[in-house]
């Protein structure tokens, strides 16, 4: 009864307490998997479940607790010292020069940042162009806000780069926004400079807002250039960029993200921050300052992620019925298993047969059907190799059974 009073997007929401298939992070599903000795490779949480907090970050957070500072709010717009450190990082890594106190909002993780960035603009009926497959929040946020999702398919044969014609042919007078996950989750594609330039021209010509989620911007491999679309000519004033310390820094538990945009956008966000997001955690923001001031720990993470993507590729790419590209960024592998079954058939088969928990591709979009996503950044490298060997054996067995060569 009460559910019928909800907006359509919430009525449609799945994976909660009462649905047949629990989301792994709801209820006691994970506990049960852990008890069965299942390797958990479905959360984009580096090194999970092993500790990965650099000592200097832990020290800064402990100091804030010991001094008593931790029990107090930081203003909803965020710690100003943290913004100064972020501004330095934006200049060095993203080629974006900002005024720290006018162009940055600190958010409790970048999921809330992405939601806030879209919320400013999306009204009922507005069309939002989203690459399919991409991060499920892009689709769900749009629907929650009453917008209409316009899916832009991308293809393995293009290395999952987008074709600008796919955007052009779906443009209508109602198109308001492009939401871009760059690098993409789940495909790991890092959009090339010429692609982003063509998208920038399209956005400028048609007066569109671009929200870009760069949670996975570090690391990118094989010398591939990570271009921030906000830094392209004419894009600063129409781009809202969302960042996170969860992925490349491996500090997901701190729940710190940040939004970067023109002062005209940030002004409205500062005016509504307390209503929409509250404030990020005080101690976590102090930890983030320490992490940004000395980020030398990241290099060994990047080397580990590089080895991990190769382990997965080498063990899976030649399995009959499996097709994949080498990951370009981060710590995910995107695998086409459509010749062997649907994504959810394969994930549940592997759960039973190989004791691994990975993601079905379906939540990532229509193009995600027949795919699975493997988080290879979790566990340690030996555990990862063992888990992927189990996957390889199980998939070869399935291919033989199905007569797939
Ligand atoms: C593409 C992408 N963006 C944003 C997030 C949210 O990260 P956080 O809220 O930890 O910053 C995730 C988390 O998995 C993600 O995959």
Q: Could you give the CA distance from residue 7 to residue 364 in angstroms, rounded to a whole number?
A: 22
Yes or no: say if 247 and 291 are a contact pair by the CB < 8 Å rule: no
Q: How many CB atoms lie within 10 A of CB 381?
A: 12
pLDDT score at 44: 95
Q: Is 318 exposed, middle or buried (0-12, 13-18, 19+ CB in 10 A)?
A: exposed
Mutual angle of helices 381-402 and 343-353, in 10-degree steps: 120
Rg of the chain over CA atoms, in angstroms? 21
Give residue-wise pLDDT tens across range 210-227.
999 999 999 999 999 999
Instruction: Summarize pLDDT for 368-404 with one digit per residue, the tens.
Output: 999 999 999 999 999 999 999 999 999 999 999 999 9
8 A C-beta contact, residue 202 and residue 168: yes
In the structure, what pLDDT confidence band is assigned to residue 18 with cuts at 50, 70 and 90? Answer: confident
Residues 140 and 116 sit within 8 Å (Cβ to Cβ) = no
pLDDT at 306 over 70: yes
Q: What is the pLDDT of residues 265-279, one digit of tens each?
A: 999 999 999 999 999
Query: Which two tokens mark 7?
Result: 């907006």
| Residue from 185, 191, 211, 364 whose mutation best tests the ligand 1 pocket (most atoms within 8 A of CB) | 185
Q: Are 335 and 252 in contact (CB under 8 A)?
A: no
Output the CA 111–ligand 1 centroid distance in Å.
Answer: 6
Q: Quote the pLDDT of residue 333.
A: 98
Ligand 1: which of 44, 131, 373 to mutate, most ligand atoms within 8 Å of CB? 44
The alpha carbon torsion through 138, 267, 85, 304 (nearest 10 deg) reads 0
Q: pLDDT tens-digit profile of 152-188?
A: 999 999 999 999 999 999 999 999 999 999 999 999 9
Tell me how far apart the alpha carbons of residues 207 and 372 are, in angstroms, rounded to a whole number: 36
- With a Cβ cut-off of 6 Å, ligand 1 is lined by 44, 109-111, 114, 135, 181, 185, 213, 215-216, 244, 246, 252, 257
- 3-state SS string over the chain? CHHHHCCHHHHHCCCCCCCCCCCCCCCCHHHHHHHCCCEECCCCCCCCCCCCCCHHHHHHHHHHHHCCHHHCCCCCCCCHHHHHHHHHHHHHHHCCCCCHHHHEEEECCHHHHHHHHHHCCCCCCCEEEEEECCCHHHHHHHHHCCCEEEEEECCHHHCCCCCHHHHHCCCCCCEEEEEEECCCCCCCCCCCHHHHHHHHHHHHHCCCEEEEECCCCCCECCCCCCCCHHHCCCCHHHEEEEEECCCCCCCHHHCCEEEECCHHHHHHHHHHHHHHCCCCCHHHHHHHHHHHHCCCCHHHHHHHHHHHHHHHHHHHCCCCCCEECCCCECCEEEEECCCCCCHHHHHHHHHHHCCEECEECHHHCHHHCCEEEEECCCCCHHHHHHHHHHHHHHHHHHHHHHCCC
Question: What would the mean pLDDT of 86-101 be, rounded to a whole number?
Answer: 98
C-alpha of 77 from chain center = 23
What domains are there in the chain, each with its CATH number?
37-52+298-402 (3.90.1150.10), 55-293 (3.40.640.10)
CA of 183 relative to ligand 1 center, distance in Å: 12
* Mean pLDDT of the 258-264 span: 98
Looking from the CA of residue 44, the nearest atom of ligand 1 is 14
Determine the atom of ligand 1 nearest the C-alpha atom of 114: 4
Summarised one tens digit per residue, pLDDT across range 29-77 is: 778 888 889 999 999 999 999 999 999 999 999 999 999 999 999 999 9
């Amino acid at each position: 009864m009460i559910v019928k009073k909800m907006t359509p997007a919430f009525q449609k929401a799945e994976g909660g307490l009462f649905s047949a298939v629990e989301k792994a992070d709801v209820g006691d599903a994970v506990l049960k998997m852990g008890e069965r000795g299942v390797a958990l490779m479905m959360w984009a949480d580096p090194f999970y479940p092993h500790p990965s907090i650099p000592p200097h970050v832990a020290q800064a957070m402990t100091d804030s607790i010991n001094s008593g500072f931790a029990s107090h709010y930081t203003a909803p717009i965020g710690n100003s010292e943290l913004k100064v450190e972020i501004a330095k990082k934006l200049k060095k890594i993203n080629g974006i020069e900002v005024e720290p106190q006018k162009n940055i909002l600190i958010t409790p993780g970048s999921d809330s940042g992405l939601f806030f960035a879209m919320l400013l603009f999306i009204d009922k009926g507005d069309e939002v162009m989203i690459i399919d497959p991409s991060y499920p929040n892009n689709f769900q946020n749009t629907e929650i806000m009453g917008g209409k999702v316009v899916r832009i398919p991308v293809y393995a044969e293009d290395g999952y780069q987008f074709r600008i014609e796919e955007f052009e042919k779906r443009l209508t007078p109602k198109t308001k926004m492009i939401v871009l996950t760059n690098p993409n989750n789940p495909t790991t594609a890092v959009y090339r400079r010429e692609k982003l330039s063509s998208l920038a021209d399209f956005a400028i010509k048609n007066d569109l807002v671009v929200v870009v989620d760069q949670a996975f911007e570090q690391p990118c491999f094989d010398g591939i250039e990570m271009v921030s679309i906000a830094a392209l000519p004419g894009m600063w004033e129409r781009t809202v960029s969302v960042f996170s310390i969860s992925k490349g820094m491996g500090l997901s538990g701190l729940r710190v993200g940040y939004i970067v945009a023109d002062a005209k956008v940030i002004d409205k966000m500062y005016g509504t921050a307390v209503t929409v997001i509250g404030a990020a955690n005080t101690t976590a923001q102090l930890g983030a300052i320490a992490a940004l001031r000395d980020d030398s720990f990241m290099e060994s993470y990047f080397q580990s992620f590089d080895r991990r993507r190769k382990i997965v590729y080498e063990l899976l790419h030649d399995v009959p019925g499996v097709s994949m590209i080498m990951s370009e960024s981060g710590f995910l592998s995107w695998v086409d298993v459509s010749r062997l079954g649907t994504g959810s058939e394969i994930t549940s088969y592997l759960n039973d047969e190989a004791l691994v928990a990975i993601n079905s591709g379906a939540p990532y979009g229509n193009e995600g059907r027949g795919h699975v996503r493997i988080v290879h950044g979790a566990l340690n490298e030996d555990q990862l190799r063992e888990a992927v060997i189990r996957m390889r054996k199980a998939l070869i067995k399935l291919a033989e059974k199905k007569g797939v060569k």
